[in-house]
Amino acid sequence: MRLFPALLASTLIAAPMMALPLSAQSPQEVAEAALEAAPVWDGHNDVPIQLRSRFDNVINDFDFTDTTATATANATGTDSRNAMHTDLIRLRRGKVGTQFWSVYVSASLEEAEAVQTTIEQIDVTKRLIARYPDDLVLALTADDVEQALAQGKMASMMGMEGGHSIGSSLAVLRQTYDLGARYMTITHSKTLGWADSSTDEPRNNGLTDFGKDVLREMNRIGMLVDLSHVSEKTMHDALDTVSAPVIFSHSSARALNGHARNVPDGVLQRLRDNGGIIMVTFVPGFLSEEARVWNANRAGEQARLEALWQGQPDKVETRLEAWDAANPLPQSSIAQAADHIDHVRAIAGIDSIGIGGDYDGIPFAPPGLEDVSTYPALFQELARRGYSQADLEKISMRNMMRVMRRAEAVAASMADMQPYEYPAGAPR
């Protein structure tokens, strides 16, 4: 199978050809033309952790062609799961050309275990890619991406989600790069000894000296610095430290949704000068402010019930179900995803936008964006709002390609530098 018709490498390198006047094209035609010329480069997909949690990484009999039948439920409903969001058929329908697969492991793991588990996730991802050589190919460079697209295959890259994956070791950082990881999200949900997370108590006032050396070493070797999940102060410290563009692999705009995982305008303004991108995500609680407030209210109600009915989980569950029935979750939408893109364009510019769906890392996505087949619907919505074909090509792939090439150029310029070595015994 092929994900899309073979593309000439020259088409991917050169600027897009002049399109017909927008008035002569429907939004669907504009979106289709953009995605044909520049298939989606998505910043974050969590299939690897699905392989671990559902199948214990035993995948020799796993069929990635079609995963729509992977929904599960036991008799009590305590282990119910929606079907996976991702498979080869739906990737092809979604016009995905390049995917960053997240080799995420839990931030609650001790560092040594996190390092081992990350290597296991790199292994299972590589094995999955190798099982489908007609559709997927491991990509390590921007040139690899272009070659894969020219062959009609999906370029598969890997990103680590959380600095716990390197166990506070620059040596491990270098070795994970050699194993194929091409970005690292600096933190996940928990603050590290050297970097503060957006969703945990700050302990470092952003980045420590060692944390800054981690970022400098990432620039030196060519690994992208991903600032999704980090605190606002860590974002600013990172932008003060790096010499290459940064990415936000799956975040949205905090001005539209106050979630700490989203990016404030002050950082978006700096992103333009840095040359980096924010890959707008589809997480409902990050898109819809109403959904964010609902989540907080539900958490508060659950805490209240647990205080009232200590040691009586059945009563808590029954009453929480009644609360859910009386207070349905507000729906997020394609329009809200487009609103976040509009806002990023207004603050940081069209060159600062990408897409990071977070499929298979969330239980459900907005209606209309249910799985990886639905990217074209978002691009049609953007075309309806007046985005040109050239704009859409930047969002879908070309901005990320520019960032990747710039990071590679920075690394090449630092090739004569010695690796960073943190002093033995220095505080981590």
The H or E element containing residue 55 is helix 47-55
C-alpha of 161 from chain center: 9
| DSSP states of 207-238 | B-HHHHHHHHHHHHHTPEEE-TTB-HHHHHHH
The amino acid occupying position 127 is: R
CA distances from 292 to 195, 261, 410 (A): 25, 11, 38
220 backbone dihedrals φ, ψ, rounded to 5°: -65, -40
Q: Please list the helix, strand and coil fractions of the chain in percent, rounded to the nearest 5, in that order.
A: 50, 15, 40
Describe the crossing of helices 142-150 and 399-413 by its angle, rounded to 10 degrees: 140
Whole-angstrom Cα distance, residue 409 to residue 412?
5
Q: Find all residues with CB under 8 Å of 295, minimum gap 6, and list them.
A: 285
Q: In the chain, how long is the greatest CA-to-CA distance?
A: 67
* CA torsion angle 293 294 299 305 (round to 10): 130
CA angle 13, 342, 198 (to 5 degrees): 95
Please state the φ and ψ torsions of residue 306, each to the nearest 5 degrees: -65, -30
- Cβ neighbours around 275 below 10 Å, total: 16
The residues carrying an active-site annotation are 44, 46, 161, 188, 229, 250, 358
- Quick one: DSSP state of residue 16? P
